[in-house]
Structure 1
Amino acid sequence: MLTLDKVLYRQGEFSLSADFSVAPGARVAILGPSGAGKSTLLDLIAGFVVPDQGRILWQGDDLTRVAPGDRPLSLLFQDNNLFPHLTVARNVGLGLRPDLRLSADQKQAVQAALARVGLSGMGNRKPSALSGGQRSRVALARVLLRARPLMLLDEPFAALGPALKAEMLALVRELADETGASVLMVSHDPADARALAGDTILVANGVASPPRETGALFADPPAALRSYLG
């Protein structure tokens, strides 16, 4: 279980508080107006920023001061974080070893991950030779290979068209179901929350609210969500 225990983060006039838990295997959307702190919430969980108060726990272990690379999570950003000078296979292999000194078994695992996301035979291509959707699949293959129990997504499919976005969200659902990973996904699109997430966290007015069942939240939205939805 992921727990944010009375967390408070301040930066100048900006502040964000969070006090909730996310169950193992949950799929949770993070919605709210621009600048409210959605990405900051992910940064706190990932360890890129440190709270001024409170603790961040995973399965009861305190992660608050643990370095990002030592936390049990993988991240997926909008730009997919691919290195243009590396092949697809080597970009995926970074999920196993940053020095890319992969064993034969690890190289086979890379090919298996690429096959799982529908990119068989594309390991020798460079990211520039791929479509936007294919680059997203490369990033997902790397996440799959890392096999971490937490998956953090910061609007990774925002640049894709509706049909391709729906396809990628379905693939995330499948991978999360297969691995048992908990998923937290920032989005500006309520349709993403409905498509992926059983629960939704609303970030507004300096507070990341505890997760609520997505359908119930949209059926009876609080004032901050009504204002955001327009």
Structure 2
Amino acid sequence: MLKVNNLTHSYQTTKLSFSFTAEQGSINAILGPSGAGKSTLLMLLCGLLEPDMGETTLGGQDFTFAPAHMRPLSILFQEHNLFSHLSVKDNIGLGLSPSLKLNEAAWQQVFDAADAVGLSEYLNRLPDALSGGQKQRVALARCMIRQRPLLLLDEPFSALDPALRQEMLLLVKKLAQQQEATILMVTHHPEDARLIADNLLFVDQGQIACEGPISLLDTPPPTLKMYLSHK
């Protein structure tokens, strides 16, 4: 289980503080107005921002102040962050080794990861020869090959058209279920949350204003209802 307790970050006169739990293997959608603190929460979890105080544990192991590269998670951003001079297979292989010094078994993992996201025929292509959706598939494969128990999604598919975005979300759900990974997914689209999420975290004014099963979208409390009325 992921436990976040009073994870606090101050910026100028603004104070953000988050507390929530997420069961292992669950998919948790994070909704909220722009500027409410959704991406800040993910940055605190992945180590791109350091909290002022608080505690974050996964399976009882504290990683609140651990170096970013030692945290039990992967994160997928809206920008795919592929290396333009490296092939698809090499970009995926970076998830296993920054030096790409991989043995035969490791390269087989790369091939399997590419196959899982439907890119077996594109292994030797450079990113510039791929569509936007294919680039995000490469980035997703690079995340999943690391087999971390926690996956953070910071609107990675928001630039895709609705049909392709839905396809990618269902692929994420399938791969995460295979690895029993827990997902925290920031989105501005309630329909994305309905599609794959088990639970909802609603962030407002730098805190978790409400949380619960995804059915909260059908019977929302006042703050969430007001947000949904503008979507």
Q: TM-score range by the shorter chain?
A: over 0.9
Q: TM-score scaled to structure 1, two decimals?
A: 0.96
Once the 2 structures are TM-superposed, how far is the Cα of residue 26 of structure 1 from its aligned partner? 0.7
Preserved contact between residue 9 and residue 51 of structure 2 (Cα < 8 Å): yes
> Equivalent residue for 1:57?
57
Runs of at least 4 residues off by over 6 Å: none
CA distance in 1: counterparts of 2:204 and 2:35, whole angstroms: 9
Once the 2 structures are TM-superposed, how far is the Cα of residue 220 of structure 1 from its aligned partner? 2.1
CA distance in 1: counterparts of 2:149 and 2:203, whole angstroms: 23
How many aligned positions are there? 229
Q: Does 1:81 align with 2:75?
A: no
Q: TM-score scaled to structure 2, two decimals?
A: 0.96
Preserved contact between residue 28 and residue 211 of structure 1 (Cα < 8 Å): no
- Measured against aligned partners, the alpha-carbon deviations of 1:36-85 in whole angstroms (never above 9, x if no partner) come to 00001111111111211211111112111101110010110111111111
Preserved contact between residue 28 and residue 198 of structure 1 (Cα < 8 Å): yes
Equivalence map 1:1-230=2 (5 Å)? 1-209=1-209, 211-215=211-215, 217-229=216-228, 230=230
Preserved contact between residue 19 and residue 209 of structure 1 (Cα < 8 Å): no
Once the 2 structures are TM-superposed, how far is the Cα of residue 13 of structure 1 from its aligned partner? 2.0
Once the 2 structures are TM-superposed, how far is the Cα of residue 200 of structure 1 from its aligned partner? 0.8
CA distance in 2: counterparts of 1:223 and 1:16, whole angstroms: 21
CA distance in 2: counterparts of 1:103 and 1:10, whole angstroms: 45
Unaligned runs of 5+ in 1: none
Once the 2 structures are TM-superposed, how far is the Cα of residue 154 of structure 1 from its aligned partner? 0.3
CA distance in 2: counterparts of 1:178 and 1:60, whole angstroms: 22
Unaligned runs of 5+ in 2: none
Once the 2 structures are TM-superposed, how far is the Cα of residue 135 of structure 1 from its aligned partner? 0.8
Question: What is the Cα-based RMSD across aligned positions, in Å?
Answer: 1.1
Preserved contact between residue 6 and residue 19 of structure 1 (Cα < 8 Å): yes
CA distance in 1: counterparts of 2:12 and 2:156, whole angstroms: 28
